[in-house]
């Protein structure tokens, strides 16, 4: 993707019942110091700052700091398993959480991004910082929860008085509780796609596996981050799980005949722009290609990463050079290459998933 790392494609809609169409985020007045931290929290590997117009805390992120630390542990464990050379970070990794959509958007503009409802997190290469918008307190999720509460709470009160229409009220209450559960599912999906993805970007750089400058090759940066958009156990004991959502997106694109050419994917960062029609498919293919390297060709992946780290200008590699570097390690992108990836994809489990609407 473009030079400021990850802009997540997060136009996710779990169901029409659970989530109404996303509302426009409110834009409070500009403040004089939109990036000034109002407080800090430290953990073993992170310093989390509260930034912006108000306090953001990801209170619904299932243990936000624990999620950060688990991501760090799992990325580090995979690097060790792949025998990738790493370094110890000199400082704790910086994460800024904001619940002011306007200030978040202004920060994004400052690093060359275009604010939109698809942009919920990004990596600031100027300060080696992950910046997150706390969507648990801003936007459609809290709005929809509030609307549901206003509908469900009267039902609970009415049922307490033994009404004659109990069956009808109980049915409506069950529907409301199912809608709450779908919102919870949607929110967890975002936690993995935003928090874990962005933090994985930061960790890969902080431990020296990927260069801190730039985001090229985009498929490698985005694919290796997408590997960690999955449930992360407390202690890394095995390979990460298959990213079932990216796998489903890949298979949907394959069925629809909309897969991107592999030669374009490995050389063109613009495909990952979240406003591009190719973004969802690009992320899915990048995940599959990275997962293929991790599981099937770790020696070649290790050599490719070594070449990326040795570049004199990692932030600016022309498309032709990207393709040349890739084929020098993984071989020519031809029919045989496509067949190998197709066999690998077909060997992965076909776990049914609820539609995400992305």
Q: Please check the confidence at residue 4 and state whether its pLDDT lies above 70.
A: no
Q: Which residue in this structure is represented by tokens 């307190």?
A: 137
Q: Could you tell me how far CA 323 lies from the centroid of its own chain?
A: 25
Q: Could you tell me the residue range of the domain that residue 23 belongs to? A: 1-180
- When the pLDDT of each residue in the chain is averaged and rounded to a whole number, the result is 82
Number of domains composing the chain:
2
Q: Would residue 237 count as lying in a domain?
A: yes
The pLDDT of 230-257, averaged and rounded, is: 93
The pLDDT of 53-70, averaged and rounded, is: 68
Higher pLDDT, 151 or 214: 151
> Which among 134, 111, 136, 115 is positioned nearest to 123, based on CA atoms?
111
In this structure, are 129 and 225 located in the same domain?
Answer: no
Residue 20's pLDDT is what? 35
* The domain boundary residue, chosen from 137, 159, 180: 180
Give the integer Cα–Cα distance in Å for 270 and 325. 18
Q: Would residue 195 count as lying in a domain?
A: no
Higher pLDDT, 87 or 269: 87
Q: Would residue 273 count as lying in a domain?
A: yes
Higher pLDDT, 191 or 28: 191
Local confidence band at 314 (pLDDT 50, 70, 90 cut-offs): low
Higher pLDDT, 20 or 256: 256
Helix (H) or strand (E) run with residue 48 in it: strand 46-51
0.75 exceeded by the pTM?
Answer: yes
Question: Is 121 in a helix, a strand, or coil?
Answer: strand
Q: Give the rounded percent of residues in the chain with a pLDDT score beyond 70.
A: 81
The pLDDT of 253-278, averaged and rounded, is: 90
Q: Would residue 204 count as lying in a domain?
A: no
In this structure, are 329 and 233 located in the same domain?
Answer: yes
Question: Is 131 in a helix, a strand, or coil?
Answer: strand
Residue 329's pLDDT is what? 97
What does DSSP assign to residue 191?
I
Write the pLDDT tens digit of every residue in 91-109. 999 999 988 899 899 999 9
Give the integer Cα–Cα distance in Å for 128 and 130. 7
In this structure, are 42 and 152 located in the same domain?
Answer: yes
- In order of 41, 61, 107, 192, the CA distances from 229 in angstroms are 24, 14, 25, 5
In this structure, are 216 and 125 located in the same domain?
Answer: no
Contact of 93 with 72, CB cutoff 8 Å: yes
Q: Please check the confidence at residue 38 and state whether its pLDDT lies above 90.
A: no
Residue 309's pLDDT is what? 87
**What are the phi and psi torsion angles at 132 (to 5°)?**
-125, 140
Residue 318's pLDDT is what? 67
* The domain boundary residue, chosen from 180, 195, 221: 180
Q: Please check the confidence at residue 12 and state whether its pLDDT lies above 60.
A: no
Q: Please check the confidence at residue 287 and state whether its pLDDT lies above 80.
A: yes
C-alpha distance across the termini of the chain, in Å: 19
């Amino acid at each position: 993707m473009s030079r400021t790392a990850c802009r997540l494609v997060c136009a996710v809609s779990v169901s029409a019942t659970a989530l109404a169409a996303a509302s426009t985020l409110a834009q409070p007045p500009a403040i004089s110091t939109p990036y000034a931290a109002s407080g800090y929290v430290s953990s073993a590997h992170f310093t989390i700052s509260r930034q912006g117009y108000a306090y953001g805390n990801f209170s619904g992120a299932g243990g936000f700091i624990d999620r950060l630390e688990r991501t760090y542990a799992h990325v580090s464990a995979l690097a060790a398993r792949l025998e990738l050379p790493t370094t110890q970070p000199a400082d704790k990794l910086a994460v800024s959480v904001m619940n002011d959509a306007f200030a978040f958007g202004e920060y994004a503009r400052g690093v060359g991004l275009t604010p939109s409802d698809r942009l919920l997190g990004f990596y600031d290469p100027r300060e080696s910082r992950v910046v997150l918008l706390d969507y648990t307190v801003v936007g459609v999720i809290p709005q929809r929860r509030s609307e549901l509460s206003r509908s469900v709470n009267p039902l609970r009160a009415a049922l307490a008085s033994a009404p004659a229409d109990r069956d009808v009220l109980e049915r409506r209450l069950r529907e409301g509780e199912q809608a709450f559960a779908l919102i919870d599912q949607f929110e967890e999906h975002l936690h993995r796609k935003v928090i874990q993805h962005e933090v994985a970007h930061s960790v890969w750089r902080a431990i020296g596996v990927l260069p801190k400058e730039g985001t090229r090759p985009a498929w490698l940066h985005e694919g290796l981050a997408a590997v960690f958009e999955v449930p992360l156990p407390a202690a890394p004991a095995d390979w990460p799980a298959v990213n079932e959502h990216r796998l489903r997106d890949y298979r949907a694109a394959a069925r629809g005949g909309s897969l991107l050419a592999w030669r374009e994917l490995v050389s063109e960062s613009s495909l990952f722009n979240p406003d591009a029609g190719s973004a969802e498919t690009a992320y899915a293919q990048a995940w599959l290609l990275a997962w293929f390297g991790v599981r099937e060709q770790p020696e070649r992946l290790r050599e490719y990463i070594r070449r990326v780290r040795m570049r004199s200008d990692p932030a600016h590699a022309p498309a032709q050079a990207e393709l040349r570097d890739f084929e020098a390690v993984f071989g020519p992108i031809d029919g045989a290459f496509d067949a190998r990836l197709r066999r690998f994809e077909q060997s992965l489990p076909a776990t049914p998933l609820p539609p995400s609407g992305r």
